[in-house]
């Protein structure tokens, strides 16, 4: 027992201080893409052709990016001959609507808070039922990580529960395969009103790499209404945590990526 206590004392405090302090992120984190239009050669479509999910289009002024489709791979940045696209360390990616994820230069951090009535209901205690609707288990693993000592999701009053009847909403991952359509609908119906739905990851937002496949529906919004979208493939745990806290009104500032 003494050895255990000594080891614990040496380890110190391991729970992150977020949101009171900015998180420590890995140097190789691929956050939101930034467009440098002055470097974009006229007529070049290398990034569009390289993107595996059609997350990039060329519009007057340069590339237009869709963070809801983006897999945060390096195909576009590697294909660009002039370095007009680059990954930043911007991890704060959540938004209330799919349309807010489309941008042309810098990804602007969104205010994603629920309306006042729902914030009063769920602000102190939010129970979520996680539904894997055909996912690869990447997003599911990062949701699970939020329960570890580093993130300690429970300190914010947020818990993942086993039954939709005990939940305030759903956290959906995966592109929603046809085999999961009925299961997702029944799970949604089992959650008492009022309820919220969170689409976590590119698959749940847009279908991700499976978009257009005849056996998938292209994301959660094809079956249920979505209140919050959290981009990523998979989203970093801090991206998910930030989105949940913004949704509950715990983080209010609105800033623009300057990294």
pLDDT per residue over 167-179, tens digit each? 999 999 999 999 9
What does the pLDDT read at residue 240? 97
Residue 226 pLDDT more than 90?
A: yes
Q: 44 - beta bridge partners?
A: none
Please give the distance of CA 193 from its chain centroid, rounded to a whole number. Answer: 24
What does the pLDDT read at residue 10? 77
- Angle of helix 138-145 relative to helix 237-247, nearest 10 degrees, comes to 70
pLDDT single digits (tens) 127-176: 999 999 999 999 999 999 999 999 999 999 999 999 999 999 999 999 99
CA distance 4 to 234: 35
Reported CATH class of domain 116-247? alpha beta
- For CATH 3.40.50.12280, the residue range(s) in the chain are 116-247
CATH number for the 33-90 domain, one of 3.40.630.30, 3.40.50.2020, 3.30.70.360, 3.30.70.20? 3.30.70.20
Q: What angle do CA 251, 254, 259 make, to 5 degrees?
A: 110
- For CATH 3.30.70.20, the residue range(s) in the chain are 33-90
Lowest-confidence region among 65-79, 155-169, 212-226, 239-253? 239-253
């Amino acid at each position: 027992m003494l050895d255990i206590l000594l080891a614990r004392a040496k380890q110190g405090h391991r729970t992150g201080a977020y949101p009171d302090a900015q998180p420590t992120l890995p140097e190789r984190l691929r956050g939101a893409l930034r467009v440098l239009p002055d470097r974009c050669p006229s007529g070049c479509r290398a990034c569009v052709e390289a993107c595996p999910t059609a997350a990039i289009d060329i519009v007057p002024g340069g590339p237009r990016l869709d963070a809801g489709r983006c897999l945060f791979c390096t195909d576009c940045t590697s294909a660009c001959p002039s370095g007009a696209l680059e990954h930043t360390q911007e991890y704060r990616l959540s938004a209330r609507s799919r349309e807010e994820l489309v941008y042309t230069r810098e990804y602007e951090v969104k205010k994603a808070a629920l309306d006042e009535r729902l914030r009063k209901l769920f602000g102190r205690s939010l129970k979520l039922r996680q539904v894997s609707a055909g996912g690869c288990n990447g997003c599911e693993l990062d949701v699970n990580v939020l329960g570890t000592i580093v993130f300690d999701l429970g300190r914010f009053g947020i818990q993942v529960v086993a039954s939709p009847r005990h939940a305030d909403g759903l956290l959906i991952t995966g592109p929603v395969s046809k085999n999961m359509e009925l299961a997702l609908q029944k799970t949604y119906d089992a959650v008492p009103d009022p309820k919220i739905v969170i689409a976590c990851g590119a698959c749940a937002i847009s279908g991700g790499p499976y978009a257009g496949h005849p056996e998938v529906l292209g994301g959660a919004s094809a079956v249920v209404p979505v209140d919050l979208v959290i981009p990523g493939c998979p989203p970093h745990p801090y991206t998910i945590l930030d989105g949940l806290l913004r949704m509950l009104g715990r983080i209010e500032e609105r800033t623009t990526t300057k990294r």
